[in-house]
Structure 1
Protein backbone atom coordinates (compact mmCIF):
# COMPACT_ATOMS: atom_id res chain seq x y z
CA UNK A 1 0.00 0.00 0.00
CA UNK A 2 1.48 3.32 -1.02
CA UNK A 3 1.72 6.16 1.45
CA UNK A 4 -0.88 8.68 0.35
CA UNK A 5 0.33 11.52 2.54
CA UNK A 6 3.75 12.06 4.02
CA UNK A 7 4.45 15.23 5.92
CA UNK A 8 8.17 16.01 5.59
CA UNK A 9 9.64 17.80 8.57
CA UNK A 10 13.06 18.15 10.12
CA UNK A 11 13.88 15.44 12.66
CA UNK A 12 13.10 16.36 16.23
CA UNK A 13 16.58 15.53 17.47
CA UNK A 14 16.34 14.29 21.04
CA UNK A 15 13.00 16.06 21.48
CA UNK A 16 10.66 13.07 21.16
CA UNK A 17 9.12 13.71 24.58
CA UNK A 18 8.88 17.48 24.17
CA UNK A 19 5.45 18.76 25.15
CA UNK A 20 3.75 21.40 23.04
CA UNK A 21 0.63 23.50 23.50
CA UNK A 22 -1.96 22.39 20.92
CA UNK A 23 -5.14 24.20 19.94
CA UNK A 24 -6.73 22.16 17.13
CA UNK A 25 -10.47 22.43 16.46
CA UNK A 26 -12.44 19.27 15.67
CA UNK A 27 -12.45 18.51 11.97
CA UNK A 28 -10.70 16.47 9.31
CA UNK A 29 -8.38 13.85 10.86
CA UNK A 30 -5.77 14.13 8.11
CA UNK A 31 -5.45 17.87 8.61
CA UNK A 32 -5.22 17.46 12.38
CA UNK A 33 -2.41 14.89 12.00
CA UNK A 34 -0.55 17.24 9.64
CA UNK A 35 -0.87 20.04 12.21
CA UNK A 36 0.58 17.84 14.97
CA UNK A 37 3.44 16.87 12.66
CA UNK A 38 4.20 20.47 11.73
CA UNK A 39 4.10 21.74 15.33
CA UNK A 40 5.97 18.82 16.91
CA UNK A 41 8.62 18.31 14.22
CA UNK A 42 7.80 14.60 14.18
CA UNK A 43 6.95 12.84 10.90
CA UNK A 44 3.49 11.28 10.81
CA UNK A 45 2.93 8.83 7.96
CA UNK A 46 -0.52 7.71 6.87
CA UNK A 47 -2.47 6.71 3.79
CA UNK A 48 -4.82 9.55 2.88
CA UNK A 49 -7.59 7.07 1.95
CA UNK A 50 -7.36 5.62 5.45
CA UNK A 51 -8.30 8.91 7.14
CA UNK A 52 -10.74 10.07 4.45
CA UNK A 53 -14.03 11.00 6.09
CA UNK A 54 -12.72 10.49 9.63
CA UNK A 55 -13.11 13.33 12.09
CA UNK A 56 -10.66 14.36 14.76
CA UNK A 57 -11.85 15.58 18.14
CA UNK A 58 -10.94 19.03 19.43
CA UNK A 59 -7.44 18.97 20.90
CA UNK A 60 -6.53 21.66 23.41
CA UNK A 61 -3.76 21.41 25.94
CA UNK A 62 -0.13 20.45 26.33
CA UNK A 63 0.83 17.08 24.83
CA UNK A 64 3.81 15.19 23.52
CA UNK A 65 3.42 14.35 19.81
CA UNK A 66 2.69 10.70 20.69
CA UNK A 67 0.00 11.68 23.21
CA UNK A 68 -1.56 14.14 20.77
CA UNK A 69 -1.82 11.44 18.09
CA UNK A 70 -3.30 9.00 20.63
CA UNK A 71 -5.98 11.55 21.47
CA UNK A 72 -6.74 12.23 17.79
CA UNK A 73 -7.00 8.52 16.92
CA UNK A 74 -9.31 7.64 19.82
CA UNK A 75 -12.48 5.96 18.51
CA UNK A 76 -11.32 6.08 14.85
CA UNK A 77 -10.49 2.40 14.49
CA UNK A 78 -6.92 3.35 13.55
CA UNK A 79 -3.74 2.44 15.39
CA UNK A 80 -0.29 3.99 15.47
CA UNK A 81 3.25 2.73 15.80
CA UNK A 82 5.39 5.18 17.72
CA UNK A 83 9.08 5.43 16.89
CA UNK A 84 11.70 7.98 17.86
CA UNK A 85 11.25 10.38 14.93
CA UNK A 86 8.16 9.03 13.19
CA UNK A 87 4.61 7.91 13.89
CA UNK A 88 3.05 5.43 11.45
CA UNK A 89 -0.74 5.34 11.31
CA UNK A 90 -2.32 2.02 10.34
CA UNK A 91 -5.82 0.72 9.93
CA UNK A 92 -7.21 -2.17 11.90
CA UNK A 93 -8.05 -5.15 9.77
CA UNK A 94 -11.20 -6.99 10.74
CA UNK A 95 -10.63 -10.75 10.92
CA UNK A 96 -12.32 -12.88 8.29
CA UNK A 97 -15.48 -14.65 9.45
CA UNK A 98 -13.57 -17.93 9.33
CA UNK A 99 -11.05 -16.67 11.89
CA UNK A 100 -13.43 -14.49 13.93
CA UNK A 101 -15.50 -17.52 14.96
CA UNK A 102 -12.48 -19.39 16.36
CA UNK A 103 -11.27 -19.49 19.91
CA UNK A 104 -8.65 -16.95 20.94
CA UNK A 105 -7.06 -19.45 23.31
CA UNK A 106 -3.33 -18.52 23.42
CA UNK A 107 -2.43 -22.20 23.96
CA UNK A 108 -4.04 -23.26 20.67
CA UNK A 109 -1.83 -23.50 17.58
CA UNK A 110 -3.39 -24.26 14.21
CA UNK A 111 -1.06 -25.49 11.46
CA UNK A 112 -2.29 -26.16 7.94
CA UNK A 113 -0.30 -27.46 5.01
CA UNK A 114 -2.80 -26.32 2.40
CA UNK A 115 -6.11 -24.58 2.82
CA UNK A 116 -7.53 -23.73 -0.57
CA UNK A 117 -11.10 -22.55 -0.15
CA UNK A 118 -13.62 -24.81 -1.84
CA UNK A 119 -11.08 -27.51 -2.68
CA UNK A 120 -11.70 -31.07 -1.58
CA UNK A 121 -8.97 -32.07 0.90
CA UNK A 122 -6.55 -34.62 -0.53
CA UNK A 123 -6.01 -36.18 2.88
CA UNK A 124 -7.94 -36.19 6.14
CA UNK A 125 -7.47 -33.33 8.58
CA UNK A 126 -5.47 -34.37 11.64
CA UNK A 127 -6.18 -32.55 14.86
CA UNK A 128 -4.51 -33.23 18.20
CA UNK A 129 -4.33 -31.42 21.49
CA UNK A 130 -1.14 -30.90 23.39
CA UNK A 131 -2.12 -33.53 25.97
CA UNK A 132 -2.84 -36.08 23.21
CA UNK A 133 0.58 -35.45 21.67
CA UNK A 134 2.33 -35.73 25.05
CA UNK A 135 0.43 -38.93 25.91
CA UNK A 136 1.98 -40.51 22.79
CA UNK A 137 5.43 -39.75 24.22
CA UNK A 138 6.20 -37.02 21.70
CA UNK A 139 8.19 -34.13 23.17
CA UNK A 140 8.73 -31.72 20.26
CA UNK A 141 6.97 -30.52 17.11
CA UNK A 142 9.56 -32.07 14.80
CA UNK A 143 8.86 -35.52 16.24
CA UNK A 144 5.14 -34.90 15.93
CA UNK A 145 5.49 -33.86 12.27
CA UNK A 146 7.47 -37.03 11.53
CA UNK A 147 4.71 -39.14 13.14
CA UNK A 148 1.84 -37.72 11.07
CA UNK A 149 1.15 -40.34 8.35
CA UNK A 150 0.22 -37.67 5.78
CA UNK A 151 3.78 -36.29 5.91
CA UNK A 152 5.30 -39.45 4.43
CA UNK A 153 8.37 -38.78 6.57
CA UNK A 154 8.50 -35.33 5.04
CA UNK A 155 9.15 -33.55 8.33
CA UNK A 156 12.59 -32.88 9.75
CA UNK A 157 15.09 -35.40 8.43
CA UNK A 158 17.59 -35.96 11.20
CA UNK A 159 19.68 -38.40 9.15
CA UNK A 160 20.54 -35.93 6.38
CA UNK A 161 22.98 -35.89 4.67
CA UNK A 162 23.06 -39.62 3.91
CA UNK A 163 26.10 -41.47 5.16
Structure 2
Protein backbone atom coordinates (compact mmCIF):
# COMPACT_ATOMS: atom_id res chain seq x y z
CA UNK A 1 0.00 0.00 0.00
CA UNK A 2 2.88 2.32 0.86
CA UNK A 3 4.27 1.85 -2.65
CA UNK A 4 0.88 2.52 -4.26
CA UNK A 5 0.56 5.84 -2.41
CA UNK A 6 4.00 6.88 -3.62
CA UNK A 7 3.28 5.77 -7.21
CA UNK A 8 0.00 7.68 -7.16
CA UNK A 9 1.68 10.81 -5.78
CA UNK A 10 4.45 10.56 -8.38
CA UNK A 11 1.84 10.31 -11.13
CA UNK A 12 0.24 13.57 -10.02
CA UNK A 13 3.63 15.23 -9.82
CA UNK A 14 4.22 14.13 -13.43
CA UNK A 15 1.07 15.89 -14.67
CA UNK A 16 2.15 19.17 -13.06
CA UNK A 17 -0.60 21.76 -13.16
CA UNK A 18 -2.87 19.72 -15.45
CA UNK A 19 -5.37 18.61 -12.86
CA UNK A 20 -8.09 16.20 -13.98
CA UNK A 21 -11.57 17.61 -14.56
CA UNK A 22 -14.17 16.88 -11.92
CA UNK A 23 -17.77 18.08 -11.67
CA UNK A 24 -16.22 21.38 -12.69
CA UNK A 25 -12.80 22.01 -14.19
CA UNK A 26 -11.16 23.37 -11.04
CA UNK A 27 -12.46 23.32 -7.50
CA UNK A 28 -11.34 23.03 -3.93
CA UNK A 29 -12.36 19.37 -3.67
CA UNK A 30 -9.85 18.51 -6.39
CA UNK A 31 -6.94 20.39 -4.86
CA UNK A 32 -7.46 19.34 -1.21
CA UNK A 33 -7.27 15.58 -1.91
CA UNK A 34 -4.22 16.18 -4.11
CA UNK A 35 -2.48 17.89 -1.20
CA UNK A 36 -3.62 15.14 1.18
CA UNK A 37 -2.02 12.60 -1.14
CA UNK A 38 1.23 14.56 -1.37
CA UNK A 39 1.31 15.02 2.41
CA UNK A 40 0.81 11.28 2.89
CA UNK A 41 3.58 10.57 0.38
CA UNK A 42 5.86 12.99 2.24
CA UNK A 43 5.16 11.24 5.55
CA UNK A 44 6.00 7.89 3.94
CA UNK A 45 9.06 9.23 2.11
CA UNK A 46 10.16 12.63 3.45
CA UNK A 47 11.82 13.89 0.30
CA UNK A 48 12.37 17.47 -0.78
CA UNK A 49 10.46 16.67 -3.98
CA UNK A 50 7.21 16.09 -2.10
CA UNK A 51 7.89 19.01 0.19
CA UNK A 52 8.38 21.37 -2.77
CA UNK A 53 5.24 20.02 -4.46
CA UNK A 54 3.16 20.66 -1.34
CA UNK A 55 4.54 24.18 -0.97
CA UNK A 56 3.84 24.93 -4.65
CA UNK A 57 0.26 23.62 -4.55
CA UNK A 58 -0.81 24.99 -1.15
CA UNK A 59 -1.59 28.45 -2.61
CA UNK A 60 -3.92 26.74 -5.09
CA UNK A 61 -5.99 25.52 -2.16
CA UNK A 62 -5.83 28.72 -0.15
CA UNK A 63 -7.01 30.75 -3.16
CA UNK A 64 -10.52 29.34 -2.70
CA UNK A 65 -10.95 31.20 0.61
CA UNK A 66 -9.84 34.30 2.44
CA UNK A 67 -9.63 36.01 5.82
CA UNK A 68 -13.16 37.42 5.73
CA UNK A 69 -14.51 38.78 9.03
CA UNK A 70 -17.80 36.82 9.09
CA UNK A 71 -17.66 33.38 10.75
CA UNK A 72 -19.44 31.76 7.80
CA UNK A 73 -16.79 33.11 5.43
CA UNK A 74 -13.49 33.18 7.33
CA UNK A 75 -11.11 30.82 5.50
CA UNK A 76 -14.12 28.98 4.06
CA UNK A 77 -13.63 27.88 0.44
CA UNK A 78 -16.30 28.99 -1.97
CA UNK A 79 -18.67 26.19 -2.94
CA UNK A 80 -21.66 26.40 -5.22
CA UNK A 81 -24.88 24.69 -4.15
CA UNK A 82 -27.07 23.25 -6.83
CA UNK A 83 -30.16 23.26 -4.66
CA UNK A 84 -32.36 22.64 -7.65
CA UNK A 85 -31.16 19.02 -7.67
CA UNK A 86 -30.10 18.51 -4.08
CA UNK A 87 -31.97 20.95 -1.88
CA UNK A 88 -35.54 21.12 -0.67
CA UNK A 89 -35.78 24.85 -1.46
CA UNK A 90 -34.58 24.54 -5.08
CA UNK A 91 -32.16 27.44 -4.71
CA UNK A 92 -28.86 27.75 -6.51
CA UNK A 93 -26.13 29.74 -4.86
CA UNK A 94 -22.91 29.81 -2.93
CA UNK A 95 -23.04 28.14 0.45
CA UNK A 96 -20.97 29.10 3.45
CA UNK A 97 -19.80 27.01 5.02
CA UNK A 98 -20.11 23.96 2.82
CA UNK A 99 -19.18 20.81 4.70
CA UNK A 100 -16.41 20.02 2.21
CA UNK A 101 -14.60 23.11 3.44
CA UNK A 102 -13.31 20.81 6.18
CA UNK A 103 -11.06 19.24 3.55
CA UNK A 104 -9.00 22.43 3.77
CA UNK A 105 -8.80 22.10 7.54
CA UNK A 106 -7.51 18.53 7.21
CA UNK A 107 -4.78 19.67 4.82
CA UNK A 108 -3.79 22.55 7.08
CA UNK A 109 -3.70 20.26 10.14
CA UNK A 110 -1.45 17.72 8.38
CA UNK A 111 1.04 20.06 6.74
CA UNK A 112 4.65 19.05 7.32
CA UNK A 113 6.39 21.38 9.75
CA UNK A 114 8.81 22.49 7.04
CA UNK A 115 5.98 24.03 4.96
CA UNK A 116 5.74 27.79 5.20
CA UNK A 117 2.19 28.48 6.35
CA UNK A 118 2.38 30.29 9.69
CA UNK A 119 -1.40 30.60 10.19
CA UNK A 120 -2.26 27.00 9.26
CA UNK A 121 -3.57 26.00 12.71
CA UNK A 122 -5.67 29.16 13.11
CA UNK A 123 -7.15 28.75 9.63
CA UNK A 124 -7.95 25.09 10.26
CA UNK A 125 -9.63 25.93 13.58
CA UNK A 126 -11.70 28.68 11.95
CA UNK A 127 -12.90 26.28 9.26
CA UNK A 128 -13.83 23.58 11.76
CA UNK A 129 -15.64 26.03 14.04
CA UNK A 130 -17.50 27.64 11.14
CA UNK A 131 -18.92 24.30 10.11
CA UNK A 132 -20.56 23.89 13.50
CA UNK A 133 -23.02 26.68 12.61
CA UNK A 134 -24.85 24.16 10.44
CA UNK A 135 -25.94 22.30 13.59
CA UNK A 136 -28.66 23.48 15.95
CA UNK A 137 -28.65 23.00 19.71
CA UNK A 138 -31.20 20.17 19.37
CA UNK A 139 -28.87 18.25 17.02
CA UNK A 140 -30.76 19.03 13.83
CA UNK A 141 -28.69 20.29 10.94
CA UNK A 142 -28.51 21.58 7.41
CA UNK A 143 -26.03 20.59 4.76
CA UNK A 144 -26.30 23.95 3.00
CA UNK A 145 -26.83 27.52 4.10
CA UNK A 146 -27.51 29.39 0.86
CA UNK A 147 -25.68 32.63 1.38
CA UNK A 148 -27.04 35.07 -1.23
CA UNK A 149 -29.96 37.16 0.00
CA UNK A 150 -31.94 36.47 -3.15
CA UNK A 151 -31.76 33.78 -5.83
CA UNK A 152 -33.72 34.25 -9.06
CA UNK A 153 -36.08 36.65 -7.31
CA UNK A 154 -36.71 34.26 -4.41
CA UNK A 155 -35.70 35.05 -0.83
CA UNK A 156 -32.58 33.19 0.22
CA UNK A 157 -29.88 33.62 2.91
CA UNK A 158 -31.43 30.59 4.50
CA UNK A 159 -30.57 27.09 5.65
CA UNK A 160 -31.89 24.45 3.31
CA UNK A 161 -33.84 21.88 5.35
CA UNK A 162 -32.01 18.98 3.69
CA UNK A 163 -29.65 17.36 6.17
CA UNK A 164 -27.30 14.67 4.95
CA UNK A 165 -23.58 15.02 4.27
CA UNK A 166 -22.96 17.75 6.86
CA UNK A 167 -21.93 15.00 9.26
CA UNK A 168 -18.60 14.89 7.41
CA UNK A 169 -17.87 18.20 9.10
CA UNK A 170 -18.35 16.51 12.47
CA UNK A 171 -15.98 13.71 11.49
CA UNK A 172 -13.25 16.27 10.83
CA UNK A 173 -14.07 18.31 13.95
CA UNK A 174 -13.74 15.14 16.03
CA UNK A 175 -10.49 14.21 14.29
CA UNK A 176 -8.76 17.60 14.27
CA UNK A 177 -10.83 19.98 16.36
CA UNK A 178 -9.97 21.75 19.53
CA UNK A 179 -12.24 20.29 22.21
CA UNK A 180 -12.58 23.76 23.73
CA UNK A 181 -14.74 24.92 20.81
User: TM-score with structure 1 length normalisation?
Assistant: 0.23
User: TM-score with structure 2 length normalisation?
Assistant: 0.22
**Bigger Rg, structure 1 or 2:** 1
